[in-house]
Structure 1
Amino acid sequence: MIRKTDVIIIGAGQAGLATSRCLTDLGIDHVVFERGEIAQRWRTERRKNLHLLTPNWMTRLPSWSYVGADPDGFMHKDDVVQLLSDYSDDFAAPVQCNTEVRSVSLSENGYRVITDTAFWMAKSVVIATGACDKPLVPEFARYIHPLIRQVTPDRLDDISEISHSGILVVGASATGIQLADELLRGGCDVTLAAGSHVRTPRRYRGRDIMYWLDQSGVLSELRDSQASLKSVLHHPSFQLVGSALNRDLDLGSISRRGAKIVGRVTSMSGRRVFVSNTLSASIDAADARQKRLLSRIDHYIESHGIDVPVEPVIAPIKIRSDESLINLAERGIKTIIWATGYKREYLWLNVPVKTAKGEIDQAGGVTSAPGLFTMGLPFMRRRNSTFIDGVGADAHEITKFIAAHLGLRSTRAA
């Protein structure tokens, strides 16, 4: 038996549910397929002590916003799961949990979607499987000695499962810097290999940095239409940690606590790890990015006449390393953690919209295949397209494209 609907959404995380809410508000018939439970990745692929980088007041979705007693706190990942479950219940989202999509292909009237339980036809499909699909581990990782343990953040539920021997963390964006911080607090000997990163203070001029990024429009900044897909998919995240202590977390702070900072990893062989001599350049570039960002915030404050304290100049980080080789045996390093970002796999997508790297070729969530859209990808339409707070604006706009594709009047899709 063939089942039919107007729109199929694949994925019931924040991006899929936000889109579902917008479609529901327009009365558009749709169904959401989720391979596990609602917010599956938040349930099973996040460390047990993970908190959002954004304050609770920024936890906003279409027709919903945080109203709890701790607006300046940082939501634990289990609370995110509950939030998304409650959000789904609030508008009776048509989610089919534990339903795996096996194939999406073109048909004469739209798309043929085969799941492990049924055969569906839909006029439009929204791929909302998220940005954090498969950990991105470089090919040369296979050349490391087999006795060196290699793990990725999605498989690292608790740092206590790692022995107190030496650990190499590869990657210095949000995840890598947080892991290095947690490991240091757990008494581990940490080496951090840093490439491109975005240094950001937790608080600036009396407010959480996210307040200024939100108010000044930095987070809602539209994607440059000339930017390559590769550049936006691998844009580094802010070096921040969600903590009631409101502390800064950057290469300088963890270096002062004993972490050894080296350059970007370029190759491996046996128990040898080769690193580039670009650490100084990466740190200087991060300091320059921070200076530009804070100058933009200062300009916003001054142009709007906001009375807030003047912040002391943030000192640049002074870490230099000409180290080109890490001998894991000499350092006592027995574990490598790959915090090098994510890639996405769409093995079930049989529509010619994929790049040579397997990513979906899209511009603002719109693909070349009529009626096929994406949601929740890095910098898809805006800088915050992957944030819980950012998927709402994208969902409203993608829904307009869907409505137009379905032939609904523009007044209805407004």
Structure 2
Amino acid sequence: MSSPPPQRHQVVVIGGGQAGLSVAHCLQKRGLRPLVLERHRIGHAWARQRWESFCLVTPNWQCRLPDYPYDGDDPEGFMGREDIVRYVQRFADHIRVPVREGVAVQRLSASGEGFRLITNEGEIEAEQVVVATGGYHRPKRHPLAARLPQQILQLDARDYDSPERLPAGPVLVVGSGQSGCQIAEDLFLAGRRVHLSVGSAPRSPRRYRGRDVVDWLDRMGYYAMPIDQHADPRAVRGKTNHYLTGRDGGREIDLRRRALEGMVLHGRLADLGHDRISFADDLAANLDGADAVHSRICRSIDDHIAARELEAPEESPYVPCWSPPPGPAEPIDLASEPLAAVIWCTGYHPDFTWVEAPAFDGAGHPAHERGITPVSGLYFLGLPWLHTWGSARFCGVADDAEYLAEAVRMRAARRATSQERLECTALLGS
């Protein structure tokens, strides 16, 4: 018995998160008929790969999906996990784009002038494809993580849910980016003994001179600044986000103050063994570096206020409240400090091995210009710094989606024109 012929579609969008839904909506407005394929359910990453107390670090008013801005009654607040999921689901209901949930794309390859998708529900053919699966796929861990005793639970940031779900005992959080600092605080505020391995991640003030810092940076054009205006675009794509939090109405995270209160800070993780974990002697330098970025942000806001002669209350410069004691970095002796868990908050690798197309650089990252790849008809959306700082955020994905949707429409129009010419030539020849 022969298998049924592949389904054929104008445009297939892979990924049903805010990026995939946004470009599908923008395509639909242009008269195209996109199909969205979502491996899990709409909003899955927000619902299943964020912890219980998670909330946005940007104010709700910055949620600006295309033709669907934040619709709640707390624009200055910070949506929690469940509210984010509901917002994305309401957007999906609003735009009425066909979404097939539970469909995993196992392989994508060029086929003739289009593409062939192998899925868990059969084959699909598409004239054009937008990959909107983000860029955070495979968690990074220290290469010696397997040396830790088996009784120590090891989790990646996306698998952490709450302090109550961890076994009793001290916890080591590795990585001081947004996830690491927020998870360390979540555990610490729940009364757990917390060790935090601090890297070079920068930090940001929460409010400064009368406004949320995101408000200032938005007004100053930072979120809309194209990547090609940066001195080193390659470097800026790899930078860690500044740590701060939307928890408790929004506040900055000062690790020095947490150290005064009892959180145990270490430098970068250096070595792991069955009986001890050692750290680099760089904690002071890492804290100083984070504070330097904090101060630089404040100075840039000061300059903006002065240049425009704006009215804004004055604020005193930040003064460190704690410094690491002198001497070599102390290791964690697992005999005297038996850890219950280690939570890895050390980032993610992209994994596009299922995309069989010459559209990647040597490190496996998509090669593109604002999401348009060298492979005609193949696009990426929702990647960090796809075009601007806001590209992978609720505030910037709409602009990128509109741009890509127009590129898709123009290619579809050219193909239609070429096909008409071929048909006319064939008709005249007959």
TM-score, normalization by structure 1 = 0.93
- Residue 194 of structure 2: aligned partner: 190
Q: Secondary structure at the match of 1:329?
A: coil
Which runs of 5 or more residues in structure 2 are unaligned? 416-430
- Asked if 1:104 is matched to 2:108, the reply is yes
Does structure 2 retain, via aligned residues, the 8 Å contact 1:276–1:324? Answer: no
Distance 1:401 1:22 in 2: 11
- Asked if 1:372 is matched to 2:378, the reply is yes
- Residue 383 of structure 1: aligned partner: 389
- Asked if 1:348 is matched to 2:354, the reply is yes
Post-superposition CA distance 1:107-136 (Å, at most 9, x none): 111211121113222222111112332322
- Asked if 1:175 is matched to 2:179, the reply is yes
Quick check: 123-132 or 89-98, which moved more? 123-132
How much does 1:195 deviate?
0.7
Point out the structure with max Rg over C-alpha.
2
Q: Secondary structure at the match of 1:288?
A: helix
- Residue 213 of structure 1: aligned partner: 217
- Residue 81 of structure 1: aligned partner: 85
- Residue 393 of structure 1: aligned partner: 399
- Asked if 1:310 is matched to 2:314, the reply is yes
- Residue 300 of structure 2: aligned partner: 296
- Residue 367 of structure 2: aligned partner: 361
Post-superposition CA distance 1:249-304 (Å, at most 9, x none): 12123212211111111331213223212222222222222222222222222222
Distance 1:22 1:91 in 2: 9
Any residues of structure 2 matched to 1:40-79 within 5 Å, and which? 40-79=44-83
- Aligned pair count reads 408
Does structure 1 retain, via aligned residues, the 8 Å contact 2:257–2:322? Answer: no
CA RMSD of aligned residues (A): 2.0
* 4+ aligned runs moved over 4 Å, structure 1: none
- Residue 207 of structure 2: aligned partner: 203
- Asked if 1:405 is matched to 2:411, the reply is yes
- Residue 256 of structure 1: aligned partner: 260
Pick aligned residue for 1:16 from 13, 16, 20: 20
Distance 1:367 1:328 in 2: 49
Distance 2:249 2:6 in 1: 55
Distance 2:414 2:260 in 1: 59
Pick aligned residue for 1:332 from 320, 332, 338: 338
Distance 1:136 1:4 in 2: 37
Amino acid in the other structure paired with 1:118: G
How much does 1:233 deviate?
4.8
Q: Secondary structure at the match of 2:73?
A: coil
Distance 1:77 1:94 in 2: 25
Does structure 1 retain, via aligned residues, the 8 Å contact 2:360–2:366? Answer: yes
Q: Secondary structure at the match of 2:26?
A: helix
Does structure 2 retain, via aligned residues, the 8 Å contact 1:2–1:118? Answer: yes
Distance 2:11 2:232 in 1: 29
Distance 2:317 2:37 in 1: 50
Amino acid in the other structure paired with 2:63: T
Distance 1:143 1:358 in 2: 28
Distance 2:27 2:294 in 1: 39
Does structure 2 retain, via aligned residues, the 8 Å contact 1:274–1:325? Answer: yes
Amino acid in the other structure paired with 2:332: I
Q: Secondary structure at the match of 1:104?
A: strand
- Residue 275 of structure 2: aligned partner: 271
Distance 2:365 2:143 in 1: 17
Distance 1:182 1:360, change over 3 A: same
Amino acid in the other structure paired with 2:37: F
Q: Secondary structure at the match of 1:261?
A: strand
Amino acid in the other structure paired with 2:140: L
- Residue 165 of structure 1: aligned partner: 169
Does structure 1 retain, via aligned residues, the 8 Å contact 2:109–2:357? Answer: yes
Distance 1:355 1:154 in 2: 26
Q: Secondary structure at the match of 2:272?
A: strand
Post-superposition CA distance 1:204-254 (Å, at most 9, x none): 11111111111111122221477465x445421121111244332121232
